[in-house]
Amino acid sequence: MSTVLVTGGAGFVGSHLCERLLAEGKRVIAVDDLSTGRVANIAEARAYGAQFTFYSVDVCAEGMSTILGRHRPDLVYHLAARPEARSVLDPRQDAHASVAGLLNLLEAAAAAGVGKVVLASCASVYGQARKFPVRETMLAGARPKTPGAIGKRLAEEYLRFYERFRGVDFTVLVLATVYGPRRDPAGDPGLVGSAAVRMLAGERPIVRGDGHQTRDFVFVDDVVHALALAADRGSGRVLNVGGGVETSVNALCHMLGEIIGFRGEPLPGPPEAGDVRRMVLDIEQAGLEIGWRPWTHLEDGLAETVASIREQL
Ligand SMILES: NC(=O)c1ccc[n+]([C@@H]2O[C@H](COP(=O)([O-])OP(=O)(O)OC[C@H]3O[C@@H](n4cnc5c(N)ncnc54)[C@H](O)[C@@H]3O)[C@@H](O)[C@H]2O)c1
């Protein structure tokens, strides 16, 4: 039975990933400091008994080398990160997990003989792109606008260093805007969660800016599938993972309104720091390199997300 370590394992994407790996018969070690993650997210993973182990620990802690030395995972997924919006308010705190945490993890991984690290990066590493859909080749010369995105760029370079000098293989998946069940409606719900919660309460959703800005939305199950495929493919590559469809924030709110049965225009709010005007990823390379493509239509994924939020309210 192979062993996989997931940092950020009690978070939104991480907890779904743990369940997928457990269902595949892997032994899963989840690490999370519960800064935004929740124990409730790993309830299903815990039902796997001894196949699943959880450590409530900071990725920067010295204990990471003990954990990796004890379990000797074959593969590490690094998903631990502070929410990107908060990175703008506190860049030092953000760098703690994204830079110091990654280096601590990579040192421990190299010492424990880990074969590969898969990093979840974000589409904001491209900054404000000029050509769409955004290709991986556009990373050269890109100017990330937020500390969170700067940290992800730096992480990519550190991964290259550890691949070359310590023999740890890597794949970086550049994730678009991920939505789906379990994205914490009370904590960092993201656009889909916050708009849905307001509409379900009969209130107009608040959009940052004029709502004409576009995003690439990708359902969490599709992201987890890409992460699973990257376990033994996409060596040394940076690959976009998105829905590949450009959707304006206003159009998204309209779709959610149709699903929820809410009529009312979004309320304009102040623009978000570091916000980009357009975003849609070119996902062709992920198809070629790891055999991935998204299969969830936005309407279906939104309906599933709304249903899960309804259950929690
Ligand atoms: N959700 C998205 O739309 C999106 C988009 C692009 C990229 N990503 C990336 O995917 C990854 C997962 O995102 P998510 O949406 O599941 O976020 P999340 O906040 O739900 O999960 C991140 C987890 O990391 C944990 N964490 C933070 N700092 C830590 C530290 N120092 N030590 C240990 N654990 C720590 C948090 O408690 C949380 O459980 C992140 O790296 C994020 O940057 C997410």
Give residue-wise pLDDT tens across range 68-84.
999 999 999 999 999 88
CA atoms lying within 13 Å on the CB side of residue 137: 5
Q: Is 67 in the pocket of ligand 1 (CB under 6 A)?
A: no
- How far is ligand 1, taken at its centre, from the CA of residue 228, in Å? 17
- pLDDT tens track for 25-65: 999 999 999 999 999 999 999 999 999 999 999 999 999 99
Q: Does the CB atom of residue 59 touch ligand 1 within 6 A?
A: yes
Instruction: Say yes or no: CB of residue 14 within 6 Å of ligand 1.
Output: yes
Q: Which of 5, 7, 34, 35 best tests ligand 1's pocket when mutated (most atoms within 8 Å of CB)?
A: 35
Q: How far apart are CA 17 and CA 228, in angstroms?
A: 8
Q: Nearest C-alpha to atom 18 of ligand 1 is from which residue?
A: 11
**Cβ(79) to ligand 1 under 6 A?**
yes
Structure-model confidence comparison of residues 112 and 274, the more confident one = 112
68-72, 93-97, 191-195: least confident range: 93-97
The answer to whether the CB of 58 is under 6 A from ligand 1 is yes
The architecture that CATH gives domain 180-214+246-279+299-312 is Alpha-Beta Complex (3.90)
Q: Which atom of ligand 1 is nearest to the CA of 57?
A: 33
In whole angstroms, how far apart are CA 272 and each of 77, 83, 190, 233, 302? 29, 13, 12, 36, 23
Task: Give, using CA atoms, the residue closest to atom 6 of ligand 1.
Answer: 122
Per-residue model confidence (pLDDT) at position 185: 60
Nearest CA to ligand 1 atom 34: 32
CA-nearest residue, atom 9 of ligand 1: 120
In this predicted structure, what is the pLDDT of residue 272?
83
Q: Which fold has domain 3-178+216-242?
A: Rossmann fold (3.40.50)
Q: Which amino acid is at 36?
A: T
Residue 313 pLDDT level (bands cut at 50, 70, 90) = confident
- State how far the alpha carbon of 43 is from the alpha carbons of 173, 187, 218, 219, in Å: 26, 18, 24, 21
Q: Which amino acid belongs to residue 19? A: E
Domain boundaries, the chain: 3-178+216-242, 180-214+246-279+299-312
The finding on whether 223 has its CB within 6 A of some atom of ligand 1 is no
pLDDT of residue 85: 83
Give the nearest ligand 1 atom to 32 CA. 34
If you measure from the C-alpha of residue 34 to the centroid of ligand 1, how many angstroms do you get, rounded to a whole number? 10
Length of the chain: 313
Look over the chain and give the mean of its residue pLDDT values, rounded to a whole number. 96
Span 229-279, pLDDT tens digits: 999 999 999 999 999 999 999 999 999 999 999 999 999 998 888 789 999
Smallest CA separation from ligand 1 atom 23, residue: 8
Which tokens hold the place of 87? Answer: 């990175």
With a 6 Å cutoff on the Cβ, whether 266 touches ligand 1 is no
- The CB of 13 under 6 Å from ligand 1? The reply is yes
Note the pTM of the prediction, 2 decimals. Answer: 0.98
